[in-house]
Structure formats: C-alpha cells, structure tokens
Structure 1
Amino acid sequence: MENEHNKLFPEDQARVDAYLKRGYNETERKPFRPLRLLFILFLMVTFFTLFSLGLARWFGVY
C-alpha cells in the first residue's frame, strides 16, 4: 500500500473512486440564501406570537 492511512487496496480504491464519479451522488442544489431563511423565520415567529396573543385575549387571559 502507498499510504499507511489508506485502508483500501489500490484496486478497491479504484472501484470506490469510479463509483463516486458516476454522478449518482451528485445533486444539483440551489444556492443557500441566509437572508431568505431569516425572513421566513421572522414571519413564522411573528405569526405564532400574534396567534398566541389572539388566543390569550379570546380566552380572557390577556
């Protein structure tokens, strides 16, 4: 073996590399948008806050 840290024989490593290059494991992803995520979280927290305040008023707690 070439490298002591490499646990596979060269022919096994070649099969693993060939499997990984087949494209099955590659997935096209949209770019991550952190501001969009923050906006959605802000909307959800606002909605649940207003909803809980509405329930509290309706039941006479607040």
Structure 2
Amino acid sequence: MPSRLTPEDQQKVDQYLNLPQHQVERQPFRPWRLLWIVLAIVVALGILSRLLSRLVL
C-alpha cells in the first residue's frame, strides 16, 4: 500500500522513528513465563480466598 504522506512528511516521520528513544531493544516474548506468572497469581488468590473464608466462618 503506497504511503499517503507527502515525501516531506514521510521524511519527518522517518526521522522521528529513527531517534534513539525509539530504538529500544525488546526482549523476546516468553509465553511460558507469562503462563507461570498467571498461574501463580491465580493459585495465590485462591489460597488467600480460602484463608479469608476460614477467618469469617
């Protein structure tokens, strides 16, 4: 798809995107790590829920 920007505007966009603050190295996405974090949070909240229910009853 061709750009709808004028060449001058496209040049400004390219200069903006090439600034050092936009060139940050990102770590690779780790889905297994995310799964373990979510699982740990769910288990922790479940344990907290059971502890609170024993205190109330």
The alignment's TM-score, normalised by the length of structure 1, stands at 0.69
- The structure that is helix-richer by fraction is 2
Larger RCO: 1 or 2 (CA < 8 Å, sep 6+): 1
Q: Distance in 2 between matches of 1:50 and 1:22?
A: 47
Q: Which runs of 5+ in 2 are unaligned?
A: none
Identity percentage of aligned residues? 41
Superposition TM-score, scaled by structure 2 size: 0.73
- Bigger radius of gyration, 1 or 2? 1
Give the gaps of 5 or more residues in structure 1. none
Aligned length: 56
Distance in 2, matches of 1:43 and 1:6, equals 46
Amino acid at match of 2:48: F
> CA RMSD of the aligned region, Å?
1.8
